[in-house]
Structure 1
Amino acid sequence: MGGKKISERSIKKKSGPTHPYSRRATQLARVAHRKDKLNQAKSVRSRSSNAKVDRLSTLILMLPDDIDALPDLAAVHAFVKDNFLTRHHDELEELRADRRPGRPPHKREVELKEVIAKELQEYNEGLEIPDFTNATNVKLLREWQGDPQALPLFRMVRISGNDPDQCKLMHTGTHKLLTLELEQQQKSNAETEMDTTDIAADANASEFQRVGEFAQMG
């Protein structure tokens, strides 16, 4: 998910016709799909004033349709950094390019800069997001219609850009499928753990879960 971000403006700067099966055509299709996802998220936001609803709807709409779940914590960080934190960059680039030399930044440009800076700070200090390593949680989020009353149903974790190897489970999720998964895992852990004293000591030693435990949280 890394690499240089491609925008519609940067692609269209290239001269010559676009072959339907060329790399450029693929890039344009990817950019168009991303814009469609962002427009869907805006539509959800227009129907709700709940900041958490806005964030969750944006994140789940940005997750590629062919992915059931992200494999590990490193993939979660890559997804957040390459998609969520950069979602305003194309608009900001266009506003800067359209501004005449010597003119002060447009109000929208200032607002976007502030949003980007605020979200980056929150990500570095600790960002609460859905557990995208849990396939059941991802499925439930994709079926969700944006109802704020349903927020407690989902499994939530807290990640930190300043501590990318660890995360914290914030909410296990009250949906019956997530509850059943948790019960089954707890039963399995109880059958295989030989020394619960050492495990409890490790859990209390840090506020965050170890990276190796992240993929097992669901």
Structure 2
Amino acid sequence: MARTFEKTRKEIAKKKNGSIQALHGKSRDSRRLHRAQVRDDRLEKLAQARRKHDKPLLARAAFFQEVVQANDDKPLDLEAIQAKIREYVHQYDEEYEEAKKQRRPGRPPSTKEDLLRMKIEALEKEHRDGFYLPDLTNEANVKLLSQFEGSWPYLTNVSWVKISASGAIKPSSFPPQGL
């Protein structure tokens, strides 16, 4: 349970000499407890939605953190970055082909296959227009990224860029607006 409900329960228990069992169903205190519980549930639901929305960027940062750590925390050149971007973009290709093979002839694609296809298309489009990733050409930024521990607030310290398939690099801000 979240903090609001516990705090409210404690206040009411103190007022009732330690027992909240004797509350009437429609009393002010029981309504107060109910409001606190509803608020906590609503806040938890919002937090879960936020975590779900933030998950892809955290996974992206973790992927490029592994790339940096494999390179001994040294900055990468543009060709190496482009190769790693292609590797990231095509990470679902094998899984998609496997789902495609499992489908019987003449049957429509499964939901999983559709989701994988949409992920792949979205990543390829982002790669053409400008792939959003931490700046791996800056040594100070690479050191910051290698110390990333998996939390969302830490990523605001890292500088981000968009690299298009043609090789154009544009600075970007965190969190991304249109991603």
Give the letter aligned to residue 144 of structure 1.
Answer: F
Structure 1 residue 129, shift from structure 2 partner: 0.7
Q: CA deviation at 1:148?
A: 0.9
Q: Secondary structure at the match of 2:169?
A: strand
Who is 2:30 aligned against?
none
- 1:55 paired with 2:60, answer yes
Q: Which runs of 5+ in 1 are unaligned?
A: 1-46, 173-218
1:103 to 107, 110, 114: 107
CA 1:168–1:74: 2 relative to 1, 3 Å:
same
- TM-aligned CA deviation for residue 75 of structure 1: 1.7
Cα distance, 1:105 vs structure 2? 1.1
Show the counterpart of 1:123: 127
Matched, 1:167 2:169: yes
8 Å CA contact 2:69, 2:146 repeated in 1 = no
Q: Does 1:77 align with 2:79?
A: no
1:78-93 → structure 2 map (5 Å cutoff): 78-81=83-86, 83-93=87-97
Q: Which runs of 5+ in 2 are unaligned?
A: 1-49, 175-179
The residue identity in structure 2 corresponding to 1:142 is S
Q: Name the CA distance, whole Å, in 2 between partners of 1:64 and 1:152.
A: 18
Report if the CA contact (8 A) 2:89-2:123 is conserved: yes
Q: Distance in 2 between matches of 1:159 and 1:118?
A: 15
2:130–2:163 contact (8 Å) kept in structure 1: yes
Residues 140 and 154, structure 1, Cα contact 8 Å, conserved in 2: yes
> Relative to structure 1, is the Cα distance of residues 65 and 54 closer, same or farther in structure 2, using a 3 angstrom cutoff?
closer
Q: Counterpart of 2:70 in 1: which secondary structure?
A: coil
1:147 and 2:145 equivalent?
no
| 1:96-147 Cα shifts (integer Å, max 9, x gaps) | 1222222221111100101111111111111221112234433322321221
Shift of 1:160: 0.7
Aligned length: 122
What is the aligned-residue RMSD (CA, Å)? 2.4
Code of the aligned partner of 2:129: E
% identical aligned pairs: 30
| Residue matched to 1:33 | none
Larger radius of gyration: 2
CA distance in 2, matches of 1:111, 1:72: 33
Shift of 1:60: 2.5
Letter of the 1:100 partner, please give it. Answer: R
Counterpart of 1:98 in structure 2: which amino acid?
Answer: Q
TM-score with structure 2 setting the length: 0.59
Find the counterpart in structure 2 of residue 132 from structure 1.
136
Runs of 4+ with >3 A deviation: none
Q: Is the CA contact (8 Å cut-off) linking 1:154 and 1:171 kept in structure 2? A: no
8 Å CA contact 1:59–1:84 kept in 2: the answer is no
